[in-house]
Structure 1
Amino acid sequence: MSTPKQVPQAYYDLLEQIQAIDFVLVELNLYLDTHPNDAESIQQFNQCSYESRKLKKQFEKQFGPLMHFGYSYSNYPWDWIDVPWPWQV
């Protein structure tokens, strides 16, 4: 395993924004499971989904892969050996 590198505060700030919007998405998903005809909540879910993808793309562009198993691309050389990984902070 590689030695952990120092990451800037922007790394943590952006990761926190991603975690917050993804929390909203989980809650909206649970609500919509029981209220499938709530058009306003569906619109909110779709807007949050867009925002989540946008934030994740920004994170990966600045700091490297965020999700594994083919959901994120890697730069050259292979980014996955760089730590800390998002789930470690």
Structure 2
Amino acid sequence: MNNRRKMLLRLSQLQFAAWELHMYLDTHPEDSQAAMRYEQFSFEYKRLLREFQEKYGPIVKPAYGNEWLNGPWPWEITKEGDC
């Protein structure tokens, strides 16, 4: 496994852990240890994401807003594959 894939795997793990703790804290807001772990995972995720983006570029392609509005609407297509 190359370094890029290792970083992606670690990002996925950190994001999952942070999200699970986020949901847990919705029902257990008084759990200070869980809140501290959430902050740690979130900080590490943001740090690793910055490092990944500096080395390999963005993880997701940026969206360009309303370009989909320029295409045909479903009722404007007269035959399959006609655009």
TM over 0.5: yes
Find the aligned partners of 2:30 and 2:61 in 1 and give their Cα distance.
33
Deviation at 1:66, TM superposition (A): 2.0
Q: Which residue of 2 aligns with 1:29?
A: 22
| Number of equivalences | 63
Please identify the structure whose Cα radius of gyration is greater: 2
CA shift in 2, pair 1:32/1:68, >3 Å: farther
Please state whether the residue corresponding to 2:4 is helix, strand or coil.
helix
1:52 to 45, 51, 70: 45
**CA displacement, residues 2-54 of structure 1 (integer Å, 9 cap, x when unaligned):** xxxxxx81111100000001010111011101001111111110011100001
CA RMSD in angstroms comes to 1.7
Instruction: Provide the rounded CA distance (Å) in 2 between the counterparts of 1:49 and 1:68.
Output: 22
Higher helix share: 2
Gaps of 5+ in 1: 1-7, 71-89
Cα offset, 1:68, TM superposition = 5.3
Q: Which residue in 1 is equivalent to 2:4?
A: 11
The amino acid across from 1:19 in the alignment is S
Of structures 1 and 2, the one with the larger relative CO (CA 8 A, separation 6+) is 1
Gaps of 5+ in 2: 64-83
Moved over 4 A (4+): 67-70
